[in-house]
Structure 1
Amino acid sequence: MPKIAVVRNWFLPISETFIYSELVNLHAATAIVCCKKEMNQDQFPFDPVFKYKSNEALSAILRKEHIALIHARFGLTGADLLQVKQELGMPMLTSFHGFDLPTNVKSMQKYKGRLDLLFQEGEAFTVTSKNMKKILVAYGCPESKIFVHHSGIEIEKFPFRDSIIPENSVITILSVGRLVPKKGMNDLIEAFNQVQHQWPNVRLRIAGEGPLRHELVNQVKRLNLDQTVTFLGALSYEDIRNEMQQAQVFALASVTTKDGNQEGIPNVLKEALATGLPVVSTRHAGIPELIRNGESGILVPEHDTAGLAQALLKLIKNPDQWKPMAKQGRKTVTKLFNAKKQVDELENIYQKVIEEFNQRGKEQTDDANKRDHTDL
């Protein structure tokens, strides 16, 4: 059973439940976590976790723990660990998730010219969508090194239920995401304003926290939506599930930011679909790989607030469409985004990378021995 070192600078931000889910569901490999800062330990209990301050300290940990493979979470971490990988002569798998893509201007600056070396030296890379794969290939990553590996959700934690109109006839639209530009919350609020003018008996609940909160609260006040839009703040995993059980419609208006930051395939959309919520979202990044427009949800162009409003109104006015969309959404998530299946796939990737690395090492040793024998 191979031993894997999962390296993430911070273990673990509340928005990265998918990393924790993979860790605790491993069964054909064992894992340790290495990080510079530990956080949210009550929500993400794991043992063992090793904290390190320098690459030298990390190398000592990996050597002592007899690690077979480094799994760097996020491209920037992979670039930071190149020296460790080379020093230990150890294979490394790097997972890209969205903000770390080279299309993001800020991330490219942080790579400091190391991205080409990462693509050259790294044994393999995972991306969460086909869209991400195209981006990495366009920036020079060998296609043969890339695995499209969807992050999964624990389906059983999101019980399916039929979305029905409540007795008070108030329709609740739920959105969940950090209050940052790429989540498009300002577009959603503008679209909701249009919806509310045509269908007053509707409410919007936004779960999440972030630097744009003050700006978004002011937008709500300016539009006189104080009584119909509620900011819930950062919620626990359990509280988000409860919100999904109570809502009638889910919306996420993801956009590509001016500096090129974008999503992969947001896990919260998978969770909403698994719950049985009809979904409205945008044709952004890998989202169309999850949601088929008109079948499991409705997709509109980025920043199209009028289109977003019309999509929401279409669902609100046609509750008979909720159930067939919900069934299709649950079917898609169960088939392609089930955490257990995705962990099996990840472990297969681990095994493949380790075996190919060891085989190359054996071949190099054999070649060297043949050269030595010829010289004699």
Structure 2
Amino acid sequence: MPSDAPATPKIGYVLKMYPRFSETFIVSEILAREAAGEQIVVYSLRPPAGTRFHAELARVQAPAHQVPRASSARGFWASWASAGDDPALATGISRALPLLLAAAHDDAEQAIAVARMALAHGVTHLHAHFASTATTVARLAAAIAGLPYSFTAHAKDIFHAGVDPADLQAKLRDAHHAVTISDYNRRHLRSTFGPDACARLRLVRNGLELDRFPYLPRTQPAPVPRLLAVGRLVEKKGFALLVDAVARLRDRGIVCTLDIVGDGPLREPLAEQIARLDLSDRVWLRGPRTQSEVGAMLRGHDLFVAPFVVGSDGNADGLPTVLLEAMASGIPCVAAAVTAVPEVIRDGETGWLVPTGDVDALTDALIAALNAGAESARITDAAQRLVRRMHDSRAQAATLRVLVTDPPPACGQIDRAPMEVSA
């Protein structure tokens, strides 16, 4: 730790929306860092959109602050004028003015507000999740407040067709460090931006509170196997492909049921597909569920299916937390090979891996998994060991703390041996 660094850093998390029902990995990360003794404060750029929240949220000690955003031009300029009355903010705004003038007005205004709050709260480092809006604001706020910032890159924020390469490169260049959650992502970023731009990029895999997912291997096949899929009802999850696969199983005389957990814009099209294929007696859209409810469903089902596809806009899943939770829980897993999924689902070793978008391969893999018998226990044992080794939130928190307290490498110092969480 540098000699001028505080003994106990205080980390300001800049998040687009907090809490968010689908982003359980952020809550798990904050809990792990707090358990390790770190001080956290959360800045949410948007108010929560939902009314249901996971029980684990109540365990978070970090105060959460809603970042103000003016609803009129008068309010916008009033926020700038107010900031100018604070000498520290005025100096910071002057220093960061070129960046602020190039930013969207909402981002600039909220960056000033985050900088003001961070200075008032004694924050020593800003960290954002997703390399999009949250990192834009964190970068601007850090420039105003004279603080270092970092961010975690996930999936949509680096793969979506709408990602601005020049903007992402600037964020990588200016960050104290950047984190990404998979080796696939790291290779993609390095091949896109080069090793110098990614000198401060580190691999830190998402973590689980492993004690919350007791291992319960399946010992006997169920008379009517129950399949489970969990995620937002959006294109990249591939649920339409899974519904087609269940229809093919039925046509082959294989009886099973499927519960799809989640909500989203494709709910109605999926419901129509289920009705059209005459699957209403065996496929159900269960709506959103809390983490504890999903945990119970993982224990009560026989096969977890993650039929990911690459969306028409280039969007693809990174490594959804629920897949790791399934592997930790002992339910056999079938998944499609997009982005980082092959890093955890290794075909025939920790699960059944299929080519993305291939309904025939998906159907065959479902049959193989349902007929695996005693072989299934060997596979789920290996899956659980992999998750415990690579995705323990305690190790994740320890690594993130080191990254904050260590000085950043000099530009051009290429990271040839990525820091990676291991239990």
TM-score relative to the length of structure 1: 0.89
Instruction: Tell me the residue number matched to 1:50.
Output: 65
Query: Where does structure 1 lack aligned partners over 5 or more consecutive residues?
Result: 361-376
Trace 1:161-240 onto structure 2 (pairs within 5 A): 161-165=216-220, 169-240=223-294
Do the aligned residues in 1 keep the contact of 2:156 with 2:317 (CA within 8 Å)?
yes
Q: Which residue pairs with 1:322 in the alignment?
A: 376
Question: SS at the partner of 2:193?
Answer: coil
The aligned counterpart of 1:260 is 314
Matched residues in 2 for 1:320 and 1:62: separation? 55
Q: 2:185 aligns with which of 121, 129, 132?
A: 132
Q: How far does the alpha carbon of each residue in 1:220-245 deviate from its partner, in whole angstroms, 9 at most, with x for none?
A: 11111110101110001111011111
CA distance 1:330–1:266, shift in 2 (3 Å): same
Q: Which residue of 1 aligns with 2:399?
A: 345
Amino acid at match of 1:64: A
Give, in angstroms, the shift of residue 334 of structure 1: 0.7
Q: CA deviation at 1:94?
A: 0.9
Aligned twin of 1:145:
200
Q: Indicate the residue corresponding to 2:353 in structure 1.
A: 299
Moved more, 21-30 or 330-339: 21-30
Contact 1:273 1:326 in 2 (8 A): yes
Task: Name the SS of the counterpart of 1:261 in structure 2.
Answer: coil
Q: Counterpart in 2 of 1:363?
A: none
Q: Which residue pairs with 1:364 in the alignment?
A: none
Out of 70, 77, 88, which is 2:145 matched to?
A: 88
Letter in 2 for 1:126: V
Q: Deviations over 1:42-74 (max 9, x none)?
A: 742343111212222111101111211110111
How much has 1:329 moved relative to structure 2?
0.6
Q: Give the match's secondary structure for 2:30.
A: helix
Q: Which residue of 2 aligns with 1:73?
A: 129
Matched, 1:9 2:13: no
Give the CA RMSD over aligned residues: 1.9
For the structure 1 residues 201 and 42, does the alpha-carbon distance in structure 2 shift closer, same or farther, using more than 3 Å as the test? closer
CA contact (8 A) 1:28 1:347 kept: no
Deviations 1:158-207 (A, max 9, x none): 1111214466x010111111101111111111112112222432111111
Deviation sequence 1:245-291 (CA, Å, 0-9, x none): 11111100111112111111111111111110111101110001111
| Secondary structure in structure 2 of the residue aligned to 1:152 | coil
For the Cα contact (< 8 Å) 1:179–1:212, is it kept in 2?
A: yes
Question: Counterpart of 2:173?
Answer: 120
CA contact (8 A) 2:126 2:148 kept: yes
2: distance between equivalents of 1:251 and 1:295?
16
Alpha-carbon contact 1:255-1:302 (below 8 Å) kept: yes
Q: CA deviation at 1:124?
A: 1.3
For 2:16, the aligned partner's letter is N
Tell me which amino acid in the other structure corresponds to 1:163: R
Q: Please say if 1:356 is aligned against 2:363.
A: no
**Partner residue of 1:31 out of 19, 24, 40:** 40
* Deviation readout 1:321-348 (Å, 9 max, x if unpaired): 2111110011001111111221112212
Structure 2 residue runs without a partner (length 5+): 1-7, 69-109, 412-423
Residue 310 (1) aligns with residue 343 (2): no
Deviation of 1:41 (Å): 5.9
Q: Secondary structure at 2:11's aligned position in 1? A: strand
Partners in 1 of 2:53 and 2:350 — Cα distance?
35
For residue 144 of structure 1, give the secondary structure of its aligned residue in structure 2: coil
Identity of aligned residues (%): 25
Match of 1:156 in 2: 211
Report the alpha carbon displacement of residue 138 of structure 1 after superposing the two structures with TM. Answer: 2.9
For 1:20, the equivalent position in structure 2 comes to 27
CA contact (8 A) 1:278 1:325 kept: yes
Supply the distance in 2 between the matched residues of 1:130 and 1:200 (Cα, whole angstroms): 38
